[in-house]
Amino acid sequence: MIDLYTWTTPNGRKVSILLEELGVPYEAHAVDITAGAQFDPKFLEISPNNKIPAIRDRDTGVVMMESGSILIYLAEKYGKFMPQEDRLEILEWLMWQMAGFGPILGQAHHFLKYNAGKSPYAEARYSEEARRLYGVLDRRLQGRDYIVGEYSIADMACWPWASRYEWQQIDLADYPNLRAWYRRIAARPAVQRGYHVPAKVNEIPQG
Ligand SMILES: N[C@@H](CCC(=O)N[C@@H](CS)C(=O)NCC(=O)O)C(=O)O
């Protein structure tokens, strides 16, 4: 049994989507980051960086923060979504998401959606970089159904960030390979379940 500490954000959804895909038992605990629950001293014991997601594995005693490492841990534990022959490339694209696609799009949300008009420099910077990153992923997906080989944790890491394309002022029509990939993944029943953990706050954008 896995305890998942999460909220309705891309980093949280990565893990709930993987758990749904794995079909393993888990219990989701809502950590309302809009109300400051991430600073609760009890939560800090499992997530010292004050951020969701985090897990506790009741079988092994493992406690872990950071969505990328959680995806790797669970994929290795259950032997799924990171086949040995594709391991290095999957890690490469997972790190690309963790270091670029996620953080840059997170800043785009701040400046393009929540604080529009406050910093034209930041708006231009993050919107340009967001477009560049969407272009990188679109080129990668040319002639491929998934980022590396079969559907893997690299896709599960990137997809929830792409699902906020409207917040990032991205038109998926400009990235046809990426849009086909986005819709392919959005159609998966496990993704549809995992997206609405720990609560349903909106429909999945259809791309
Ligand atoms: N690198 C971390 C980032 C986690 C992260 O930024 N989580 C956000 C939600 S998506 C959060 O908890 N924010 C609360 C805060 O910044 O106070 C990961 O991938 O797990």
Residue 205 inside a domain? The answer is no
For residues 92 and 62, membership in a common domain is answered with: no
Q: What is the pLDDT of residue 138?
A: 98
Region 9-36: mean pLDDT is: 98
Task: Evaluate the CA torsion angle 9, 15, 18, 20 in order and state its sign.
Answer: negative
| All residues at 6 or more sequence positions from 68 whose CB lies less than 8 Å from its CB, including other chains | 94, 95, 97, 98, 157
Q: What is the pLDDT of residue 161?
A: 98
Could you say which of 81, 105, 125 is where a domain stops?
81
Ligand 1: residue whose CA is nearest its atom 11:
51
What does the alpha-carbon distance between residue 142 and residue 89 come to, in Å, rounded to a whole number?
16
What does the alpha-carbon distance between residue 180 and residue 195 come to, in Å, rounded to a whole number?
19
For residues 10 and 105, membership in a common domain is answered with: no
For residues 41 and 110, membership in a common domain is answered with: no
Q: How many domains does the structure of the chain reveal?
A: 2
Region 85-108: mean pLDDT is: 98
Q: How confident is the model at residue 92 (pLDDT cuts 50, 70, 90)?
A: very high
pLDDT tens digits, one per residue of 160-192: 999 999 999 999 999 999 999 999 999 999 999
pTM of the model: 0.97
For residues 147 and 102, membership in a common domain is answered with: yes
Q: What is the pLDDT of residue 33?
A: 97
CA distances from 120 to 109, 111, 146 (A): 14, 9, 35
Could you say which of 34, 50, 81 is where a domain stops?
81
For residues 99 and 14, membership in a common domain is answered with: no
Residue 22 inside a domain? The answer is yes
Residues with CB under 6 A from ligand 1: 9-11, 33, 38, 50-53, 66-68
Full domain range(s) for residue 112: 84-188
For residues 184 and 95, membership in a common domain is answered with: yes
CA distances from 101 to 26, 152, 154, 172, 175 (A): 27, 17, 12, 15, 15
Task: Report the separation in Å between the CA atom of 52 and the middle of ligand 1, taken as the mean of its atom positions.
Answer: 5
For residues 72 and 88, membership in a common domain is answered with: no
Q: What is the pLDDT of residue 57?
A: 98
Average pLDDT taken over every residue of the chain: 98
Task: Report the separation in Å between the CA atom of 116 and the middle of ligand 1, taken as the mean of its atom positions.
Answer: 21
Q: What is the pLDDT of residue 59?
A: 96
Residue 198 inside a domain? The answer is no
Q: How confident is the model at residue 80 (pLDDT cuts 50, 70, 90)?
A: very high
Share above pLDDT 90 across residues of the chain, in percent, rounded to a whole number: 100
